[in-house]
Structure 1
Amino acid sequence: MDNSTGLGTFPSDSLPLLVNPWDIVLCSSGTLIACENALVVLVIWQNPALRAPMFLLIGSLALADLLAGLGLVLHFTCAYFLRSDSAQLLTVGLVVASFSASVFSLLAITIDRYLSLYYALTYNSERTAVFTYTMLVLLWSLSLCLGLLPVTGVNCLAEEATCSVVRPLTKNNIAVLSVSFLLLFGLMLQLYVQICKIVMRHAQQIALQHHFLAATPHYVTTRKGVSTLAIILGTFAACWMPFTVYSLIADYTYPPLYTYATLVPATYNSVINPVIYAFRNQEIQKALWLVCCGCIPASVALRARTPSDV
């Protein structure tokens, strides 16, 4: 039996059609991801007020995760009903492109947050909008190229020995994706360290001007903001790092259980993203309340922005 697993493993024609429980978990995760992020995309699309660069990047992240969720659902459908190599390549390509766009969008959001703090006085300029659109074009173009690789022939269907832990991706293909992720994670880590330094420096300057003490609410909210940044980066690493490291050291001969055990947590990052980047945002919260009940609670409308919202 073929040991390669994850995306692109089809039941054998000579065996009864049995559903792998892990594939059900991936399909369920995909359904939750698609529904959750579809709500974010809908809110941003329908609200003209959410057209600032920050919301465009959040929309890009939500769209990427939405496509990733749909890709997981389509993969399950193709694996157990169509069982076609062509469908297999298309669904795997969609998942690779979508998750790549998701990770790139997270990096773009990190860059945007850093620039909004470092160039606070000139951030809301036309130049920022042009830079944001440029990042969006680049990240989606690169993600599309990565997703097209399996479709255009960079796959292991003709030579099983070259398969990675995720069929039909080759060992070299998934190695490039994993190394790219590690580089992006290192860059995000560096940017978040700089963001923390800027936030703490600004908080210290304000404290000196107003003679705040360390125990004041302002200090507490600033410390909460830094903790939030640590949670964001920690969650991202916890979701993606196990699969990234495993895919670098393993190949198609390893037990399928290990691939599923590391791949499923990676998909959870797309479940958590809307909670961290969209639903916590005050403007998106207002838009959600308007969509759901046609009103905005006073507690949401009057909530002041704090450093923890960074």
Structure 2
Amino acid sequence: SWLTPDTTWTSGGMVADNVTVATPLPATTAPRGPAALVNPWDIVLCSSGTLMACENAVVVLVIWQNPGLRAPMFLLIGSLALADLLAGLGLVLHFVFAYLLRSNPAQLLTVGLVVASFSASIFSLLAITIDRYLSLYYALTYNSERTVTFTYTMLVLLWGVSLCLGLLPVTGVNCLAAESTCSVVWPLTKNNVAVLSVSFLLLFGLMLQLYVQICKIVMHHAHQIALQHHFLAATPHYVTTRKGVSTLAIILGTFAACWMPFTVYSLVADYTYPPLYTYATLVPATYNSVINPLIYAFRNQEIQKALWMVCCGCVPSSVQRARTPSDV
């Protein structure tokens, strides 16, 4: 699956290059039929991919079918949902091609799809962060044609770069010819994964800096409004602003908790490391795409209204409240 192709999972453990690295079967109890079984970690990844695809498909359909959701913010949320949807489909297809069809060329395509999709997902998160920063820093001129043009430019760039990264394994940047160059994820090379990991760390640092700036702007606005009420702690706006800042911290913390273990591990490890570590860090990374719709889409009031209209043709009064800084 995500290991080197000569790695086989048996009922007694994992055997790679005829060297047993897990509990071997006794000679007297060796199975006579086919020994290969499905790696349970790949079942977990396939299940995560199915959940990712279904969950984000709802967001994509709602944004696509609702003409009122065409603002830059919704375009970026739609880009994030589409990337996570494709990533989920890539995980499912990779499982199918690895165990049912057993086609190495098809696995190369699915690995490329997964790389491109997760890259687009991370780039979309960065684009959403940039959009939120601009909406606060240029509050008076944000709703303009220039913002729409800038949003489309970001979308073209992020999907173009992601597509190029996804095509690398298919166009020959892989470790099929030299196993010693393999990374923790077959068939990506060590250098390829290192570039992806370093890029992620740089993007994370940029997102962190932008969120710090967002928090400063929000707190500054809240402080000015609170001074007009002559009592900072009791101002409702200040309370909701603190909630909004806490939400930003949760967003960034969730993103780091999901992706940082796999990123750091990919930099220090290679194909000789136990595959258990790869799966233990890769699975949490997929959970980020499961959490993204809950954070960026389903909390949004307009998307909630559109979902209620699709499901039951009405909008509950609890969804019709005004936006607060906690919705940022």
TM band (smaller chain) = over 0.9
Structure 2 residue aligned with 1:220? 239
Partner amino acid, structure 2, of 1:182? L
CA shift for structure 1 position 240: 0.1
RMSD in angstroms over aligned alpha carbons?
1.5
Q: Does 1:308 align with 2:304?
A: no
- What do residues 104-134 of structure 1 show as CA deviations (whole Å, max 9, x unaligned)? 0000000000000000000000000000000
Structure 1 residue aligned with 2:124? 105
Partner amino acid, structure 2, of 1:6? W
Q: 1:106 to 1:7 in 2, by over 3 A?
A: farther
Q: Does 1:6 align with 2:13?
A: no
CA shift for structure 1 position 82: 1.5
Name stretches of at least 5 consecutive residues in structure 2 with no aligned partner.
10-32
> Percent identity over the alignment?
88
Supply the distance in 2 between the matched residues of 1:18 and 1:217 (Cα, whole angstroms). 59
Q: Does 1:183 align with 2:202?
A: yes
CA shift for structure 1 position 197: 0.2
Q: Does 1:55 align with 2:74?
A: yes
Asked if the contact 1:8–1:92 (Cα under 8 Å) also holds between the matched residues in 2, the reply is: no
Higher RCO by CA contacts (8 Å cutoff, separation 6 or greater): 1
Asked if the contact 2:87–2:117 (Cα under 8 Å) also holds between the matched residues in 1, the reply is: yes
CA shift for structure 1 position 244: 0.1
Asked if the contact 2:97–2:103 (Cα under 8 Å) also holds between the matched residues in 1, the reply is: yes
Asked if the contact 2:226–2:235 (Cα under 8 Å) also holds between the matched residues in 1, the reply is: no
Instruction: Please tell me whether Structure 1 or Structure 2 has the larger radius of gyration of its CA atoms.
Output: 2
CA shift for structure 1 position 7: 6.5
How many residue pairs end up in the alignment?
305
For residue 174 of structure 1, give the secondary structure of its aligned residue in structure 2. helix
Report the structure, 1 or 2, having the larger helix content: 1
CA shift for structure 1 position 261: 0.1
Q: How does 1:30-49 map to 2 (within 5 A)?
A: 30-49=49-68
Q: Does 1:299 align with 2:318?
A: yes
Asked if the contact 2:182–2:188 (Cα under 8 Å) also holds between the matched residues in 1, the reply is: yes
Supply the distance in 2 between the matched residues of 1:67 and 1:11 (Cα, whole angstroms). 27
Name stretches of at least 5 consecutive residues in structure 1 with no aligned partner.
none
CA shift for structure 1 position 213: 3.1
Q: How does 1:180-259 map to 2 (within 5 A)?
A: 180-259=199-278
Supply the distance in 1 between the matched residues of 2:232 and 2:124 (Cα, whole angstroms). 38
Asked if the contact 2:109–2:170 (Cα under 8 Å) also holds between the matched residues in 1, the reply is: yes
Asked if the contact 1:41–1:59 (Cα under 8 Å) also holds between the matched residues in 2, the reply is: yes
Q: 1:205 to 1:8 in 2, by over 3 A?
A: farther
Structure 2 residue aligned with 1:126? 145
Partner amino acid, structure 2, of 1:308? S
Where in structure 1 do 4 or more consecutive aligned residues deviate above 4 Å? 7-15
Partner amino acid, structure 1, of 2:95? F
CA shift for structure 1 position 17: 3.4
CA shift for structure 1 position 216: 3.0
Q: Does 1:152 align with 2:171?
A: yes
Q: 1:274 to 1:17 in 2, by over 3 A?
A: same
Structure 2 residue aligned with 1:84? 103
Partner amino acid, structure 1, of 2:285? A
Asked if the contact 1:11–1:18 (Cα under 8 Å) also holds between the matched residues in 2, the reply is: no
Indicate which of 68, 71, 89 corresponds to 2:90.
71
- What do residues 64-107 of structure 1 show as CA deviations (whole Å, max 9, x unaligned)? 00000000000000010121220110000000000000000000
TM-score, normalised with respect to structure 1:
0.96
Partner amino acid, structure 2, of 1:170? T
Q: How does 1:132-147 map to 2 (within 5 A)?
A: 132-147=151-166
